[in-house]
Chain A
Amino acid sequence: MSSRDVILGRVRRALADVPEDEAPYEAAVRRGYHRRHGRRTTAETVDLLAENLADYRALVHRTDTAGLPGLLARLLAERGSTSVLVPSGLPSGWLADQPAEQVPDAAGDTPHRLDRVDSVVTGCAVAIAETGTLVLDGAPDQGRRRITLVPDHHICVVRVPDQVVSSVPEALDRLDPSRPLTWISGPSATSDIELDRVEGVHGPRTLEVVLTREG
């Protein structure tokens, strides 16, 4: 007998007490919790996102579509970045003003090559105000999971208010589980040494978020 059959057989014997006609899953789980916490206007939701991002030590900036290229150029320059990773679908105008070398996200790149790039700029799929979380789903403006991991500096552009939701349940509604998803709340951090929080162990040590108003 295969271990698959052994395990399934043990499970079924263990559950002999469970009635065949037990209430179906949908009825058995009561979802009395909130879809979101509190009432907020759209502007307040964006403010809460900014506040919670900053609380987790992301650096938050605000601009509009016209101001975005200039702001990105300034952030990369302040950081002294000489090279920046660019996902294939990043809107072409975003990096128009900045002089650093642009490295396209390429499937054949080795991790060592990624390690030599200073910064990465991406969009995002959805941002969650209540938790200060950005979710990336690998869409063309976000690229492969590793490009937001290996470089030490990540700038993530969030279009407000379209890409902002209040809560975790609202975010899940928008996401496709068949895509690889990365949830990011602040820069990499550890509290393993006497519970002192230290930013940046393996992921980017600096996370900058640009909230961009469309128009």
Chain B
Amino acid sequence: MTGTFVGMPAFPSAARKALSNETLRGNLRYATHTIRAKRAGAVSELDDWAALREAGREIKDQALRHLDRYLLQMEEAVTAAGGVVHWAADADEANRIVTGLVKATGESDVVKVKSMATQEIGLNEALEAEGIHAYETDLAELIVQLGKDRPSHILVPAIHRNRGEIRDIFTREMSEWGRPAPEGLSDTPAQLAEAARLHLREKFLRAKVGISGANFMVAETGTLVVFESEGNGRMCLTLPETLISVVGIEKLVPTWRDMEVFLQTLPRSSTAERMNPYTSMWTGTRDDDGPRTFHLVLLDNGRTDTLADRVGRQALRCIRCSACLNVCPVYERAGGHAYGSVYPGPIGAILSPQLRGTASEIDASLPYASSLCGACYEVCPVAIDIPEVLVHLRERVVEGGPVVRQGAKVTLRPARGHAAERAAMRAARWAFSHPGALRAGQRLASGARRLTPRTLPGPGRAWTATRDLPALPPEPFREWWRRTRQQEAGRPAPADRGEDQQ
């Protein structure tokens, strides 16, 4: 997975930096609290929410537990409907396949629907290296792309930007990419959206190649499903002559009927709407309606490794609704960039280290980017027990043990001595030294309280055996920050940690 941001510091230091950015924190707090409250309302409309959640969990589990069968079924159905199926074991292979397909069309511009899978593999950069310009067409992705920035939220990638910043980005950058921003552009959302409409429409109307991901694939019928709001998705999925969809193998559901569950749970969990404005479903190609050529690239890139972990595999149920981000006290304060991957927040903390392994410092620290309050589990529409996986991954980091990397069994070395303790404690201390984070984070469900760590798992246990984890700090944050930063200034970097091939 190439999604590690170059030079990205480990979570605690990235988070500390984010904490000092007042604008970022203000934007984030407003956004997460707004979505959170709306979501609760949308969910309470359905008195069978618990049953829908349970069905969603079971459907995705069944798909995962028989994934080989459903992948073959999907391949057969798509092929029968006139599509072409490709298999990509890793990011490089997926990028090679897509680049080759675009080149074969003779085009040098492509329009893109917001897709986390293509961000995960760094597709835009790979295309750019071959002289192909990829235009992001989701408004938030456009803001991120024009701002030469990184997405910070699954659903609203530009959540960290306010309207003034967006106006400045549009005014400064749009002319570099196509139609410039209108003269005297104001910072009202309506005017900003209009500027994006005009800027992108000229791209949609002449686009010959579209690239997308998918929210779901239906094995039984070979159908792909994309949820969206703006209509940019529909533009990319229906106007071009060639459509290439890059989809993680975990996006499968077995039957058409299964969509009745996710069409109810995904919109309510993500945008807090009864239904998102547009959903497109297509099966292969169709004479005279939509692209004449359709390619489906099935992406592994660490997913089969994740599947091999019996505790961790539940992360593959994720339908990317982002509800867990919006309730997470750590995400709210640290922001999406601190996670150093395209998957931020609680789901990122368990998915990224599994997809990428925990060899890097950022990935080793991600399982600690949580107060284990359990709010993420409560809202998750497919009931992923994120705290359970976090604890499991913490143990992996500090104790080592068998894992699967790129299909091969390897033994992860325990992080050595003090290095492990330091990496763990720096992260844990960060979460526990923020009274707000901790207060908001007390797990409410009594049965889950056991997950709030009184002691650290693994080697860290020795450390906590003789002392409690830091209580609410008696000193104000700013003083704490100054003090601990000074302490850390002279410290060596944590020892690297590696994997041994068996």
**Interface positions of A (Cβ within 8 A of B):** 2-4, 6-15, 17-18, 22, 25, 28-34, 37, 52, 56, 107, 110-112, 115, 128, 130-133, 138, 144-146, 149-150, 168-169, 172, 177-196, 198, 200-204
Contacts and interface: CB of A to CB of B under 8 A. Distances in A.
A9 B407 contact: yes
A172 B290 contact: no
A29 B55 contact: yes
Interface residues of B, number: 97
B449 interface: no
Nearest to B298: A7
Interface in B244-299: 249, 254-261, 263-264, 271, 273-283, 286, 288-290, 298
Given A196-B189, A198-B193, A130 B407 contact: no
A121 B10 CA distance: 55
Contacts of A133: 275
B264 A168 contact: yes
Contacts, number: 253
Contact of A29 (B59, B163, B304, B307): B59
A210 B147 CA distance: 42
Contact of A33 (B51, B61, B231): B51
Contacts of B139: 190, 192-193, 201
A33 to B, nearest CB: 4
B338 interface: no
Interface string B177-221: 000000000000110110011001100111000000000001001
A15 B407 CA distance: 12
A207 to B, nearest CB: 9
Residue among A29, A192, A204 facing the most chain B CB atoms (10 A cut-off): A192
Interface of B: 27, 30-31, 34-35, 45-48, 51-52, 54-55, 58-59, 61-62, 65-68, 71-72, 81, 87-89, 93, 137-140, 143, 156, 158, 162-163, 166, 189-190, 192-193, 196-197, 200-201, 204-206, 218, 221, 223, 229-232, 234-235, 238-239, 249, 254-261, 263-264, 271, 273-283, 286, 288-290, 298, 300, 304-305, 307-308, 310, 313, 404, 407
B87 A15 contact: no
Contacts of A195: 30-31, 34-35, 156
B300 A18 contact: no
Given A14-B308, A191-B156, A194-B162, 5 more contacts: A6-B407, A168-B263, A179-B286, A190-B193, A201-B232
B268 to A, nearest CB: 10
B51 A149 contact: no
B68 A30 contact: no
Nearest to A186: B277
